[in-house]
Amino acid sequence: MPDVTGSLKSIVGDTMASRNGELIFYLNEPAVHASVITGEVNPTARQRVVPDSSGSFSVPLRSTETMLSDNFYRLRIEWLEDGMPPMDFPNWQIRVPNGAGTFNLVDLITTGPAGGGGGANAMLWWVSMDPPPNRNHIWLYLDPDDPDRATGPNPNLTLGDIVTRWW
């Protein structure tokens, strides 16, 4: 499983650097993983991590790239001090790439559509003869430079086919 690392202080900013919290990562919905372990189900169970005294943390999370649905992790921060709001729920979508290795949390975050900064759109269309770069698209198998072209390089598809499975 990839390790996701980061710092609580980089998440909440310098003005809240003295705060102590616990991070809870959880999937947006149960997921079926289409990887080496066929049919593996990943529940929405929480993965908790307590940052060290400097605010740094590392947590192993399953890759979301090969989950059959458009899954992503959410984050909840539970604050450990009295007199403060007990928790925060950033409206982020955290997508973890495939492969062993370490990934920085700030590189994996997108905000939802309401946040105006990216996020997944299940209705994005990929128009190309090459497969989409990720599974967040519906693929229209077509030559965008020559829409009247009759054949393409993939013998299993006819130009104009709409590939509706998620990539």
In the numeric block, which tokens belong to residue 42?
Answer: 């990943």
Query: CA 125 to CA 123: how far, in whole Å?
Result: 6
Q: Per the confidence metrics, is the pTM higher than 0.75?
A: no
Query: CA 97 to CA 80: how far, in whole Å?
Result: 30
Amino acid residing at 36: V
Residue 137 and residue 71 share a domain: no
Residue 137 and residue 106 share a domain: no
CA 143 to chain centre: 29
pLDDT tens, N- to C-terminus, the chain (167 residues):
889 998 887 776 655 667 788 999 999 988 877 655 555 667 777 899 999 888 899 999 988 887 878 889 999 888 887 766 677 777 788 999 887 789 988 888 876 554 444 444 555 677 788 877 665 667 777 777 777 777 777 777 777 777 765 44
Domain tally for the chain? 2
Residue 27 and residue 92 share a domain: yes
Q: Among residues 77, 99, 115, which one ends one of the domains?
A: 115
Provide the domain limits for residue 157: 121-167
Residue 167 and residue 89 share a domain: no
Backbone torsions φ then ψ of 100, nearest 5 degrees: -75, 155
Q: Which helix (H) or strand (E) holds 150?
A: none
